[in-house]
Amino acid sequence: MIKHLFKLIWKRRKSNSLMMTEIFFSFLILFAVCSLGVYNFQNYMTPAGLETNNVWVAFINFNTANDTAKVQYKELVSQQLKQYPEVESFSYTSSNAPFTFSTMSNSVAYNKKKVSSDVITVEPDFPKAMSMTIAQGRWFTKADMAGNFVPVVITKHLAKDLFGTEDAVGKIFGDGEEAAKSKKMKVVGVVDYYKHKSDFQELDNSLFRPSEKWDDTMVLKVKPGSGAEVEAKIVRELARLGKDWTIEIQQMDGMKSNRNNLVLVPVIILLIICGFLVFNVALGMFGVLFQTINRRKQEIGVRRAMGATKGAILWHFIGETAVIATFGLILGLFFAVQFPLLNVFDIEASVYLIGMLLAVIFIYVLVGICAFYPSRQASVLQPAVVLHEE
Amino acid sequence: MIQLKNIEKVYRTATIETVALNKVNLDIEKGEFVSIMGPSGCGKSTLLNIIGLLDEPSKGQVEIDGKQTNGLSDAQLASFRNQTLGFIFQSFHLINDLPVLDNVELPLLYRNVSSAERRRLASEALEKVGLSNRMKHYPNQLSGGQKQRVAIARAIVGQPEIILADEPTGNLDSNMGNEIMDILLTLNQRDKATIVMVTHDENMAKRTHRLIRLFDGSQVS
């Protein structure tokens, strides 16, 4: 019967070409949306490696170009913060603190292998403030800074990129741009995850090195329930320490939500557009199927006379629609399969393959739903009546 | 073989009631070739549809091959049509998008028959009607007479005991009509098929074993 259906549709391919084209384009759009969805979902399901609950980010501007004064001011702020029982821990960081819109990257090199990585300068208390856990080795301490190498902690992703399967802890490597001039870095620890741009961020290369004197952004871990009052008090009291200082505190949860929205909003817009298109395609298919069945009433009568049950007629027309969908899908899959083959956007092949599978399932379900009612109408036609219709 | 008892068929709308068949009683023996004649609208096709289980009588009983058909389910009726009955229509009702061989195979699609077996049976049926050289042609490449021969091959491919022909020569000229009639007679004489044929043509009817005349839904002879 399947061969019979394929033969019929192949012979009627010209009259079914509109529906095949609709399915082809619907599949491509669904493939794009599903792949995007799978990509973001997989990233979302990866642990973040940090906690944003009760974490604040303080943006401090000391309004001075004098580095010595800046170091003193930073120490003053640190002393003041230690006095607040609500503040559990804090750390100065470079301006690319988690979920800020600032980025800082550099290339690093090991054994002639050069890779790019985000670089974040932090203090030893940074993992405590961000509730980060070390997977291998340890976080650097102040004592490490006196050594011959810059102590660094790197993400597992960077460790794999740079050292492959070798153990990363203890490895010494250089700056990719000026390997000969700058101080070499030594890996003291590895963290599994560090998603600092959004929940939907793909795991990438990050490197933590000791804070520099000009770092004036700060992450603070506060006790649960510390609200706006505590925030206002800290801002007010810190501002009193230096008359030209400007201080702004933001809650990291809110910052993360803003960054998540940057990913989610385009996806939602795409979903709405896709939904609208698919709805139109479904309506079109519905109409075409009704027309087709009206045109083929006598054929239905003949099939019934030859021994087809109502169910056989129902499945015949659903089957025909599925075959039309299959032709559209074969064409669509030909294009879709180029994405993993050509490694487009440098995304894992599995994302595209799952995207394809979901789009194919969606198309068949859509086709099944659209075909069911017209096919059911076909199955209840009275053979004695339709065989004598002009 | 076929027994109709007090068959009535009434078509009802909100305002009109039309009696298509009125207390028709009919006995057709196995191997008989019966023709049904009558003016247009007298109920010939309705009667054939009822015998062919394509329509239900409003009253009365239909018994085919000793089996009571009233109250059979859709699946049972479909199986009965598929196994026991073969249909030939005035306007052939071939599927234009399928080659001749596939058209002939159609009844076998609704049986548990392998693809190779379907091919074999369909080829044999086409040979019987003298069209084995047109298997790969499409219906629109054939003449009217050839199309009707394909329809006959389709009707006999499943080796049914009864063939129901609804004006099989109605769309053909007299030569082609006679050719078709010859084939039907051969099927009746050689294969012992029971044939019920609706016709307007007195000459064709004379060639059958028995003529049944209908008038205004009633059997008059």
Asked if B98 lies within 8 A of A383 by C-beta distance, the reply is no
B90 band by pLDDT with thresholds 50, 70 and 90:
confident
**Å from B79 to nearest chain A CA?**
6
Residue A221 has pLDDT above 90, yes or no: yes
Residue A389 has pLDDT above 80, yes or no: no
β-bridge mates for residue A122, sequence order:
A93, A210
A42-52 pLDDT per residue, tens:
999 999 999 99
Asked if A387 lies within 8 A of B89 by C-beta distance, the reply is yes
| Chain A residues in contact with B82 (beta carbon < 8 A) | 306-307
**Predicted structure pTM score:** 0.80
Q: What is the mean pLDDT of chain A?
A: 91
Residue A155 has pLDDT above 90, yes or no: yes
**Closest Cα in chain A to B55:** A384
Integer Cα distance of B220 and A245 in angstroms: 116
Integer Cα distance of B155 and B93 in angstroms: 12
Give the residue with greater pLDDT, A159 vs B45: A159
B91-116 pLDDT per residue, tens:
889 998 899 999 999 999 998 889 89
DSSP A305: H
Secondary structure (DSSP) of chain B: -EEEEEEEEEEE-SS-EEEEEEEEEEEE-TT-EEEEE-STTSSHHHHHHHHTTSS--SEEEEEETTEE-TT--HHHHHHHHHHHEEEE-TT----TTS-HHHHHHHHHHTTT--HHHHHHHHHHHHHHTT-GGGTT--GGGS-HHHHHHHHHHHHHTT--SEEEEESTTTTS-HHHHHHHHHHHHHHHHHS--EEEEE-S-HHHHHTSSEEEEEETTEE--
Whether residue A139 contacts residue A153, with contact meaning beta carbons closer than 8 Å, is answered with: yes
B164-194 pLDDT per residue, tens:
999 888 888 888 888 888 888 988 998 888 9
Q: What is the mean pLDDT of chain B?
A: 89
Which of A111-115, A211-215, B195-199 bottoms out in mean pLDDT, i.e. has the lowest? A211-215
Integer Cα distance of A157 and B124 in angstroms: 70
Residue A5 has pLDDT above 80, yes or no: yes
B124-150 pLDDT per residue, tens:
999 988 888 888 999 999 988 899 889
**Closest Cα in chain A to B74:** A309
Dihedral sign for Cα atoms in the order A326, A332, A333, A334: positive
Integer Cα distance of B117 and B108 in angstroms: 9
| Chain A residues in contact with B115 (beta carbon < 8 A) | 3
- Whether chain B has a CB inside 8 Å of the CB on A308: the answer is yes
A390 band by pLDDT with thresholds 50, 70 and 90:
low
**Closest Cα in chain A to B118:** A1
Give the residue among B61, B1, B5 at the shortest CA–CA distance from B193.
B1
* Contacts by A164-170, CB closer than 8 A, 24 or more apart: A167/A136, A168/A136, A168/A137, A169/A136, A169/A137, A170/A137
Nearest Cβ partner for A298 among B85, B93, B154: B93
Asked if A4 lies within 8 A of B109 by C-beta distance, the reply is yes
**Å from A11 to nearest chain B CA?**
6
A71-129 pLDDT per residue, tens:
899 999 999 999 999 999 999 999 999 999 998 999 999 988 899 999 999 999 999 99
A339-372 pLDDT per residue, tens:
999 988 888 899 999 999 999 999 999 999 999 9
Mean pLDDT of A186-204: 94
Asked if A307 lies within 8 A of B54 by C-beta distance, the reply is no
| Chain B residues in contact with A307 (beta carbon < 8 A) | 78-79, 81-83, 107, 110-111, 158
A2 band by pLDDT with thresholds 50, 70 and 90:
confident
